[in-house]
Structure 1
C-alpha cells in the first residue's frame, strides 16, 4: 500500500488574508502576516515579499481562484500584479 502525495498542492503557512469588496464581489489575496504589517508601516517596499502567491481568490482557505471575467468587471484589468497593488494603495 503506497501513500499518495499530491504534487500540485500548495500549502500556505503564516497566512494573512486581505479582503476587498469591489464591484459587488469579495476578493481575497494571501499575504505573509508580518510582511503586511511592515508594508503598512512603510518598512517593506517590495510587494513580491508581501504576497504569498500572485493569485486573486474568491476564497483563500478553499483555494477558489477568482474568474478572469469577474476580475475584469471589478478592476478593469485581469493583470494580477496590478490588481494586487489595489489592495495596498
Structure 2
C-alpha cells in the first residue's frame, strides 16, 4: 500500500481574500492579511509581497481560477498584473 501525497497543491495560510465585483461577476485574489493593510495605506510598495499567488480566482477557498473569457469581458484583458492595479 502506497501513500499518495499531492505535489501540485498550494496551501494558502494566513490568507485574506480580497473581492471585487465587476460586470456582474465576483473575482477574488489571495493576499497576506498583514500586508493588505500596508498596501492600502501606501506603506507596502511591492505587490509580490502582498499576493500569495498570482492568480485571479472565482472562489479562493475552493481553488477555482477565473476563466480567461470572464477576465476579458470584465476587465478588457487577461493580463492579471493589469487587473491587480485596476
Provide runs of 4+ in structure 1 moved above 6 Å: none
Long gaps (5+) in structure 2: none
Q: Residue 36 of structure 2 corresponds to which residue in structure 1?
A: 36
Give SS of 1:35's match. Answer: helix
Give SS of 1:18's match. Answer: strand
Query: What is the total number of aligned residue pairs between the two structures?
Result: 86
TM-score (norm: length of structure 2): 0.96
Give SS of 1:39's match. Answer: helix
Q: How does 1:35-74 map to 2 (within 5 A)?
A: 35-74=35-74
Deviation at 1:40, TM superposition (A): 1.1
Give SS of 2:48's match. Answer: helix
Deviation at 1:79, TM superposition (A): 0.1
**Higher relative contact order, chain-length normalized (CA < 8 Å, sep 6+):** 1
Deviation at 1:2, TM superposition (A): 2.1
TM-score (norm: length of structure 1): 0.93
TM-superposition CA deviations, 1:24-69 (whole Å, max 9, x none): 0000000000000111121100111111111000000000000000
